[in-house]
Amino acid sequence: MKKALRRAYIALIMAFLYAPIVLLILYSFNDSKSRAVWGGFTLRWYQELFSDTAILSALGTTLTVGLLSAVISTVLGTAGAIALFQLRRRPRHALLSVINLPMLNSEVVTGVSLMLLFAMAHVQLGYVTLLLAHVGFGVPYVVLSVLPKLRQLDPHLAEAAQDLGATPLQGFLRVILPDIMPGVFSGFLMALTMSIDDFVISFFTTGSGVSNLSITIYTMAKRGISPKINALSTLIFLCVFALLIGLNLRDFKRGGRKKPDEVRIPY
């Protein structure tokens, strides 16, 4: 009885999470613009999507800003996590509290603060300010993803690599980085996801002529969401789903090939 209740509870949660996405995918093939009437199966919203220059331009801005900010945030966040890891306990905790502020702070406060900062620095709002803002809130996610991996490392691993003839840079690239790479990659994905998902901070830090998907959809919502957005959301969901399946299959294959007593020797 308890097992059946657990399964029913999990099924209810999954239905609550994914039913809206299923409806969105379904209505991306609806021939009618009305969400209350099924007008038949069609692919015309996908055809119109790829001919809509405004949506494609916003998608390009979203992807370029997301990828660039995620890469920059990953480099800065990984370096920051290593620097924090070398500090003593009290300074480390104090700096971690400061790093956590952008995640705990309201996005409205962060967005307005960045807008005022750019205005005081006489920086014109546009693509660059949007990119800098996304880097600003992406770095803390990378730091918090990399730090646990650093804590799991043997503290004498880097010294052992240098005793074997490696330079500090070689020791980091060949010994430390491969061990913390899962945390680095997780931080990269978090920064990328938060950048693509962000609206409030982007709204305050972008300028005229530069618009990402969230701002474009917000503008469309004032006069009604086009079914083309349903088609675009469906494609994004399928791409993310395929990426997750590919990553899980890769990890599964690696886990199957790895022997229990296998030891990695860097040199």
Tens of each residue's pLDDT in the chain, 267 residues: 788 888 899 999 999 989 999 988 998 898 887 777 788 888 889 998 898 888 899 999 999 999 999 999 999 999 999 888 888 888 888 888 888 888 888 889 999 999 999 999 999 999 999 999 999 999 999 999 999 898 888 777 777 877 777 787 787 888 888 888 989 999 999 999 999 989 999 999 998 888 888 998 888 877 777 888 889 999 989 988 898 888 788 777 776 555 444 444 343
Q: What is the pLDDT of residue 257?
A: 57
What residue ranges do the domains of the chain occupy?
A: 54-152+184-212
The Cα–Cα gap between 90 and 158 comes to 24
Tokens of 36: 């209350």
Spell out the residues 6+ positions from residue 217 whose beta carbon is closer than 8 angstroms to its own: 225, 229
CB 139 within 8 A of CB 184: no
Using alpha carbons only, give the angle 122, 57, 112 rounded to the nearest 5 degrees.
35
> Would you say the C-alpha torsion 200, 206, 207, 210 has a positive or negative sign?
negative
* SS (HEC) of 247-258: HHHHHHHHHHHC
Q: What is the pTM of this model?
A: 0.83
Give, in order, the Cα–Cα distances in Å from 180 to each of 18, 149, 151, 184.
Answer: 32, 5, 10, 6
